[in-house]
Chains A and B, each alone.
Chain A
Amino acid sequence: MRSLVLSRLAQLVLVLLAVTFLAFSAMNVLGDPLFNIVGPLAELDCDAVSRGEIASTSSSLDATRTDCEIVAEAKAEFRLDEPLMKRYVLWLTDSARGDFGTSFASEGVPVSDILKEKFPASIKLMIYAEVIALGLAIPLGVYGAYRANRRPDRILSVVSFGALAIPNFALGVVLLYVFGLKAGIFPSSYDSSSFRTELTSLFLPALTLGSGLAAGYQRLLRTDLVTTLQEDFVHMARAKGMTDRHIMFRHALRPSLFSVITVFGIQTGALIGGALVVEQIYLIPGVGRELVTAVVRDDFPVVLAGVTIIATAFVVINFAVDLLYGWLDPRVRAKS
């Protein structure tokens, strides 16, 4: 078990380095950070100005500094003259300490402050979605396995096949239209004034995210349960005269939850992506909306920090799920 943890930990560090480097270089190589800070001034040939070939100019916005001074200051502040690798290492060490630099768009505001207030809403939404997903999937998975290949099971499998084919945003728009706007049962915008209003206003977005997850979990759990129900220990329990309910929940359910746990980690990625989109539809002030605003304003430090935090969280969750899996399933433990 210990060597498993260590080798996975080494892999985790390696992957985190690769992920952060990819994100950092994509932002810096594909994009043009200087242009995003100073705008058209980035085109200015300041070497020629300093050699006296071109007259020094000064924009009307800031008469105290020449244009070239503005460019030089921006380059110094965001270390744009350093080589990519050096900038990456500096950025990484700062980020590890929670310092993601300052925003391009709102001058001087630390990126960490901008993101800090946006994360709670997104995290609440995702937890709510998982609760709904598991709350739907476990009972329906058990029921599907209990009635395997009979009519209720067939109906459930058609429904979950359909639910998997509905894109998040499509379901979000349809639910918003039917329950939010037409029937008016749920508020159509986010309201965090009290726990109750939060619970009701996040219900539709969470259901949007949760139904796809639920369909995935349900199919998996049903299949695994059907296999487990053919095991000897289940026949034994049945021979001893135990009720179906007892067998299902006390004997068969726990060993059938393994693949749901594995998929839980992988699905988190889809959940995060879904949350980004659903926040747009229901106007929830979370990380997704902040990222989109930052993208529109070409505010790279915010985009980079948001992407890095999300990707790191995703990698760490999958790492934790892997360990949990090894801890729960004796077979995996034995192999390592």
Chain B
Amino acid sequence: MKTLGRPFWIAVGWLMLLTVLAVFASWLPLEDPHEIGAAEARLGPSSSHLFGTDALGRDVFARTIFGARISLLVGLLAIAFGMLVGGGLGIVAGYFRGVTDQVISFCFFTLLSFPALVLALLITATIDRNQWTVSLTLGILSIASVGRLSRANTIVFAEREFVQAARVLGADSTRIITHELLPNVMIPMGALALLGMGIAIVAEGSLAFLGLSVEGDAVSWGKSIVDGSQARDLENNPNVALFPIGVMFLTVLALNYAGDRVREYFDVRETAF
């Protein structure tokens, strides 16, 4: 009997905790993450400021929790968009094959021909950057890899007996895709979604370093880290950069680990014998 194991549930617990904190951030007894000079600047970690304060006197713990809102939202939306578009196109390409497949596969190949961050730079440089457009950009980056996996899985399942049986019974393509293929292709995609969310969260951080994350005074983990990363700030109060880095690292680690476990758990080939 395979189980997901205790570390998996610890990872899920961490993600749940963060999500709850992020969702209810406004109702929690946190300091205002935006107010400049709310507290003394450059304080180290203490009981009143768990993660200390930054150069503008803002509470780093509050900024990390509010930052989780944008970072988790961007990660979630990006991969949801990638799944919807990439997954859909992949299934269509894998089911119909032929010219449809060739055109879609060429589009995937072209998207993958850009180094991911360079493509993100190209898009975000030309648009107004809010949480929706940044998510959309990162979602576009994931289309090709998600699409290729869903295409490969669809090809495997499209040959299976239950799909042929459905076809013999007179099911049309739409029904076969939604009722027979989709549920089977979804499982390996779930693992990819967890990994992809981690990648998107990191990508938001990278964009922040290029000055291309969400504009205005919205806080994200990436932007908090950038705030504390100038050599002088980093030397005198490293807490501003290092605490958000720690939280982000744990989150990405949790997502990667959970994704890996889900993939192994559902990997039928390993349990077949």
The interface of chain A, by Cβ under 8 A from chain B, is: 14-15, 18-19, 22-23, 26-27, 30-31, 161-162, 164-170, 173-174, 176-177, 180-182, 188-189, 268-270, 272-274, 276-277, 280-281, 283, 288, 291-292, 295-296, 303, 307, 310-311, 314-315, 318
With contact pairs A295-B125, A307-B121 given, residues A273 and B245 touching in the complex (Cβ less than 8 Å)? no
With contact pairs A26-B122, A273-B118, A277-B117 given, residues A167 and B234 touching in the complex (Cβ less than 8 Å)? no
Quick one: CB contact mask for B112-132 with A, threshold 8 Å, 1 for yes? 011111100111011100000
**A31 surroundings in chain B (CB, below 8 A):** 125-126
**A169 surroundings in chain B (CB, below 8 A):** 205-206, 209, 222, 225, 229
With contact pairs A272-B115, A307-B118, A307-B122 given, residues A174 and B252 touching in the complex (Cβ less than 8 Å)? no
**B241 surroundings in chain A (CB, below 8 A):** 173, 177
Taking a contact as CB atoms closer than 8 A, the residue among A22, A165, A274 that contacts B110 in the complex is A22
In the assembled complex, the Cα of A30 lies from the Cα of B119 at a distance in Å of 13
Taking a contact as CB atoms closer than 8 A, the residue among B109, B231, B235 that contacts A15 in the complex is B109
**A288 surroundings in chain B (CB, below 8 A):** 210
In the assembled complex, the Cα of A31 lies from the Cα of B113 at a distance in Å of 22
A-B contact pairs, 12 of them (CB 8 A): A14-B106, A26-B126, A169-B225, A169-B229, A170-B249, A177-B238, A182-B235, A268-B115, A272-B117, A276-B117, A276-B206, A292-B211
In the assembled complex, the Cα of A269 lies from the Cα of B231 at a distance in Å of 27
Taking a contact as CB atoms closer than 8 A, the residue among A161, A270, A281 that contacts B116 in the complex is A270
In the assembled complex, the Cα of A288 lies from the Cα of B235 at a distance in Å of 24
The interface of chain B, by Cβ under 8 A from chain A, is: 106, 109-110, 113-118, 121-123, 125-127, 198, 202, 205-206, 209-212, 222, 225, 228-229, 231, 234-235, 238, 241-242, 245, 248-249, 252-253, 256
Taking a contact as CB atoms closer than 8 A, the residue among B118, B222, B235 that contacts A177 in the complex is B235
How far apart are A171's CB and chain B's nearest CB, in angstroms?
9
With contact pairs A19-B110, A276-B118 given, residues A30 and B253 touching in the complex (Cβ less than 8 Å)? no
In the assembled complex, the Cα of A176 lies from the Cα of B222 at a distance in Å of 17
Secondary structure call for the A interface: helix
How far apart are B138's CB and chain A's nearest CB, in angstroms?
13
What residue in chain A is nearest B228 (Cβ atoms)?
A173
With contact pairs A19-B113, A173-B245 given, residues A281 and B118 touching in the complex (Cβ less than 8 Å)? no
Q: Is the CB of B121 within 8 A of A314?
A: no
Q: Is the CB of A176 within 8 A of B234?
A: yes
**A318 surroundings in chain B (CB, below 8 A):** 113
Instruction: Identify 18 new A-B residue pairs, CB closer than 8 A, beyond the known A295-B212, A307-B121, A311-B118.
Output: A22-B114, A26-B126, A161-B256, A165-B256, A167-B205, A169-B205, A170-B225, A173-B228, A173-B245, A177-B242, A181-B234, A270-B116, A272-B115, A291-B121, A296-B211, A310-B118, A311-B113, A314-B114
**A161 surroundings in chain B (CB, below 8 A):** 256
**A165 surroundings in chain B (CB, below 8 A):** 198, 249, 252-253, 256
**A173 surroundings in chain B (CB, below 8 A):** 225, 228-229, 234, 241-242, 245
**B234 surroundings in chain A (CB, below 8 A):** 173, 176-177, 181
What residue in chain A is nearest B244 (Cβ atoms)?
A170
Q: Is the CB of B256 within 8 A of A164?
A: yes
How far apart are A150's CB and chain B's nearest CB, in angstroms?
21
Taking a contact as CB atoms closer than 8 A, the residue among A14, A18, A181 that contacts B231 in the complex is A181
With contact pairs A270-B116, A272-B115, A296-B211 given, residues A167 and B206 touching in the complex (Cβ less than 8 Å)? yes
**A182 surroundings in chain B (CB, below 8 A):** 235
**B211 surroundings in chain A (CB, below 8 A):** 292, 295-296
**A174 surroundings in chain B (CB, below 8 A):** 242, 245
With contact pairs A166-B249, A167-B206, A269-B116 given, residues A188 and B231 touching in the complex (Cβ less than 8 Å)? yes
How far apart are A21's CB and chain B's nearest CB, in angstroms?
9
What residue in chain B is nearest A26 (Cβ atoms)?
B122
With contact pairs A23-B122, A26-B123, A170-B245 given, residues A273 and B110 touching in the complex (Cβ less than 8 Å)? no
